[in-house]
Amino acid sequence: MTVTDQGHGLNLSHTTRPSQGALPAFFLMTDEKRLPDPVAAATVLPPNCAVIFRHYGVPDREEIARRLIAVASRKNIRVLIAADARLALKVGADGLHLPESMAALGPGPWRAWRKPGWLVTAAAHSPMALFQAKAAGADAALLSPVFPTASHPDRAPLGAVRFQSWCRRSPLPTYALGGISISTFKRLRGGSALGYAGISGFINGG
């Protein structure tokens, strides 16, 4: 059983904007080093999830994004582009993901590019960042790192107790990110998280 299979055990109690429809249960975060082929990864994802396309440093970012969206759309999977509203609009993405530094600037210029129905998420690493994400206009926040993670080995994890506390106070539907695996996921069941996000846990079960 993979982490994706276990995702239905989370308490999906948050409501969403009527124009947005249901929020995804899971987010796959792409990473050019740990997940070099996001298109292939998308083929094994179930419906009712989303992909946050990062791949910041690759020269063919637009081409990969277009191929990813083509595959994802056939599976009813939404694709969000990280940190680039122009690219999201150009490739016909389903929304935008704001890094914490971008969300901290408030309602930025990207909002002029926002299409009706776009899903906008924001990264957060503190309670203040959760409220900044709300003020910036995000629909949901990804709070991290919950557990130790290879992506940020130098960053102290929140742990399950602190994560749940911050999650309960969040003004936005909040997802768990960082070190999510089958074993760590069990520590979040029945809590306040709407869902979770990750990289390797989606593909190999963590």
Per-residue model confidence as pLDDT tens digits over 12-68: 444 344 334 589 989 999 999 989 999 999 998 888 899 999 999 899 999 999 999
Residue with tokens 């130098």: 154
Mean pLDDT of the residues in the chain: 87
Residue range 89-117, pLDDT digits in tens: 999 999 999 999 999 999 988 888 899 99
Residue with tokens 């709070």: 143
pLDDT the model gives residue 37: 93
Best CATH choice for the domain 3-204 from the list 3.20.20.370, 3.20.20.70, 3.65.10.10, 1.10.1050.10: 3.20.20.70
Q: What string of DSSP letters covers 64-108?
A: HHHHHHHHHHHTT-EEEEES-HHHHHHHT-SEEEE-HHHHTT-S-
Measure the CA–CA gap between 149 and 155, rounded to whole angstroms. Answer: 8
**pLDDT surpasses 90 at 155:** no
pLDDT the model gives residue 49: 92
pLDDT the model gives residue 102: 96
pLDDT the model gives residue 87: 97
Say what angle helices 127-136 and 159-169 make with each other, to 10 degrees: 40
Q: Which amino acid is at 137?
A: G
Percent of the chain at pLDDT above 90? 67
pLDDT the model gives residue 125: 97
pLDDT the model gives residue 171: 97
Measure the CA–CA gap between 35 and 12, rounded to whole angstroms. Answer: 28
The pair of structure tokens assigned to 19 is 């124009």
The pair of structure tokens assigned to 37 is 């082929």
Question: Which residue in 118, 45, 54, 115 sits closest to 83, CA to CA?
Answer: 54
Q: How confident is the model at residue 11 (pLDDT cuts 50, 70, 90)?
A: very low
Measure the CA–CA gap between 102 and 169, rounded to whole angstroms. Answer: 22
CA separation, residue 20 to residues 16, 46, 97 (Å): 7, 19, 15
Question: Does 2 or 30 have the greater pLDDT score?
Answer: 30
Measure the CA–CA gap between 170 and 129, rounded to whole angstroms. Answer: 10
Pairing of strands 174-177, 119-124: unpaired
Question: Does 191 or 80 have the greater pLDDT score?
Answer: 80
pLDDT the model gives residue 16: 40
Domain ranges of the chain: 3-204
**pLDDT surpasses 90 at 159:** yes
CA separation, residue 15 to residues 74, 96, 97, 139 (Å): 26, 20, 20, 11
pTM: 0.89
Q: Which amino acid is at 95?
A: G
- Phi, then psi, of 107 in degrees rounded to 5: -65, 90
